[in-house]
Chain A
Amino acid sequence: MVTLTEAEASENNLPKGGGALVYRQRLATRLTHWLWAISLFFMLLSGLQIFMARPDLYIGQQSGFGFDNTVLSIGARQVDGEMQGVTTLFGTSFDTTGWLGLVPQGDGLARKAFPGWLTVPGYRDLATGRVVHFFFAWLLVATLFVWLIASAFNGHLREVWPSGRELKHLPRDVADHLRLRFVHDGRYNVLQKLSYAGVLFVALPLMILTGLTMSPGVVAKFPILLDVFGGRQTARTLHFVVMIALLLFFVIHILMVVLAGPLNELRSIVTGWYRTTPEKRP
């Protein structure tokens, strides 16, 4: 970590009162961060486009048409002579007209799982959705690979990985977060480390593996994937569940950036420079 001396800081005309400016994010970290952001954005919207072709989730090897193994189903049906968007989760149905199943399109409503603003392209086009999805899937995997290699060499991996000692501080860190008290010392706190490590080492690998389990080609080579995830349709369901988890991470990530000082946080992930909280002098 590079720290500017006070002299250098004043030379750079930095406002007084803040703590030292530290070079917190290396180029590899910043670059991979934004490549992931772009990839995940397109993968989410194209993934929902793909899902729209069969907006049902099942458990097992196959989809139940002659039997029931459906856990989620988005559709539209006639209720009292009027169309209604219906989402069924574990057997319980909800009226989701306007949001899921029966969505705004032009001046009226269309029978579609998702509204246009949630998919790429905005209209129904499975072929394009797949082209977009698989392009960014390759980009995502390549970026993960670059990140892993770079981080192993430049020490970033150790910055993200929580140590046993840090894990003991977890309750205190949770309490700090709940009180919205953030420490800006240029290091990740343990909750931050857990969520970043969770995304990079659990969620994204799970996303990639469950995605590959849906490939009839890949599972011909690695049939074990079908056993690990309990069948192609279970893998498809897990792919969807991890997507929701990543979405939750994104929401909390953005919330934390806003709460912790959006300009400082944004500067650090764009330029690398981050202002720490001034240390209290004795």
Chain B
Amino acid sequence: MTRLALSRRRFLTGAALASTATLAGCFDPLGDRDSTVRNVLETANSLTYRAQRLLLGSDDLAREYSESEIRQPQRPNGSTNPRDADYLALANQNFAPYRLKISGLVETPVEFSLDEIRAMPSRTQITRHDCVEGWSCIAKWTGAPLASLLQQAKVKPAARFVLFECFDTVENGFSGPIKYYESIDLRDALHPQTILAYGLNGDVLPVANGSPLRVRVERQLGYKMAKYIRSLVVTDDLHGHGDGGGGYWEDRGYEWFAGI
């Protein structure tokens, strides 16, 4: 009888263990971004980046759609209403004092007002926004090609990345507010569809979608397309910014190259 009870208890313990530490639960350590296995798995991301860079020419364009395919407002995501004082001050003046600063590895650091950017040759594109969550939304974006702004600043040969510094505080960390930031390589920065958008669906870009400026990087996922852009830094190294991942979400485990 004792033996039976013991084996039954052992069985129940086993069953309880099996139900809490289920098969999938065994793989939870994969979420630890410093684990060796995680690092091995992440090598696939650089393979993806290299494969897409090999495959995609500089001029391969993301599909552009017709007006009839704009069937809904662009879905806002991430920050939609920044409460940062400097941003609110600018927004209250309709962004008249706003200056986009381009610095870093450039011959001539420059500043542009919103009117100056609007006066540049513009590009309008109806494209599909693909969110990392899985949804898509088609909208019409109008803006100045990033390439023409970079051209005026004269990018130095050593430059590799363009970093977007944003106004919006995404979370409050231990060492103060953490603002959104992102980065792309020069290949994407100079791509004809990469624009600093100030217009959405024929209107001024709304606050929810990133006014005064948000970047469109049409061959990557939505989190690469920084909103509320404050300044651009041209650089050859992403380690000095944030936690070094090259972007807010990258610092939280998402891949830097979001082409898939």
Q: Spell out A's residues near B (CB within 8 Å).
A: 42, 45, 50-51, 53-54, 56, 58, 61-67, 116-123, 125-128, 130-132, 134-135, 137-138, 212, 214-221, 223, 226, 232-233, 236
Contact = CB atoms under 8 A, between A and B. Distances in A.
A137 to B, nearest CB: 8
A121 B28 contact: yes
Contact of B133 (A126, A216, A226): A126
Contacts of B22: 116-117, 122
B201 to A, nearest CB: 12
Of B38, B133, B138, B218, most A-chain CB atoms within 10 Å: B133
Given A64-B72, A131-B41, A131-B44, 15 more contacts: A54-B131, A62-B135, A63-B135, A65-B137, A117-B25, A119-B24, A121-B25, A125-B31, A125-B253, A127-B254, A130-B255, A131-B42, A132-B27, A214-B130, A236-B134
Nearest to B221: A216
Contacts of A51: 134
A132 B29 CA distance: 12
Contact of A138 (B24, B47, B136): B47
Contact of B62 (A62, A117, A138, A216): A216
Of A50, A212, A221, A226, most B-chain CB atoms within 10 Å: A221
Interface stretch (B6-14, B48-56, B87-95, B202-210): B48-56
Contacts of A63: 75, 135-137
Given A126-B133, A131-B38, A221 B56 contact: yes
Contacts of B254: 126-127, 130
Given A62-B136, A221-B60, A226-B63, A216 B219 contact: yes
B47 A65 contact: no
Contacts of B219: 216-217, 220
20 contacts: A45-B24, A53-B133, A54-B135, A64-B71, A64-B72, A116-B25, A117-B23, A117-B24, A120-B24, A127-B252, A128-B31, A130-B254, A131-B44, A131-B253, A134-B45, A138-B47, A216-B218, A218-B259, A220-B62, A221-B60
Contacts of B177: none
Interface in B225-260: 249, 252-255, 259-260
A58 B252 CA distance: 28
A267 to B, nearest CB: 25
Contacts of A121: 24-25, 27-28, 30-31
A119 B30 CA distance: 12
Interface string B101-140: 0000000000000000000000000001011111111100
B78 interface: no
B142 interface: no
Contacts, number: 156
A215 B130 CA distance: 9
Contacts of B72: 62, 64-67
Contacts of B130: 214, 216, 232
A104 to B, nearest CB: 9
B69 interface: yes
A187 B30 CA distance: 41
Contacts of B27: 42, 45, 120-122, 132
A122 B42 CA distance: 19
Of A45, A56, A64, A216, most B-chain CB atoms within 10 Å: A216
A73 B44 CA distance: 31
Contacts of B42: 131, 135
A68 to B, nearest CB: 11
Nearest to A125: B31
Contact of A218 (B38, B52, B134, B218): B52
Of B73, B134, B221, most A-chain CB atoms within 10 Å: B134
Q: Which 8 A-B pairs have the closest CB atoms?
A: A66-B72, A217-B259, A127-B253, A54-B134, A117-B22, A215-B260, A63-B135, A135-B44
Given A121-B31, A130-B255, A138-B44, A219 B63 contact: yes
Contacts of B249: 127
A111 to B, nearest CB: 15
Given A61-B128, A216-B130, A131 B45 contact: yes
Contacts of A137: 44
Contacts of B73: 65-66
A30 to B, nearest CB: 23
B220 interface: yes
A211 to B, nearest CB: 8
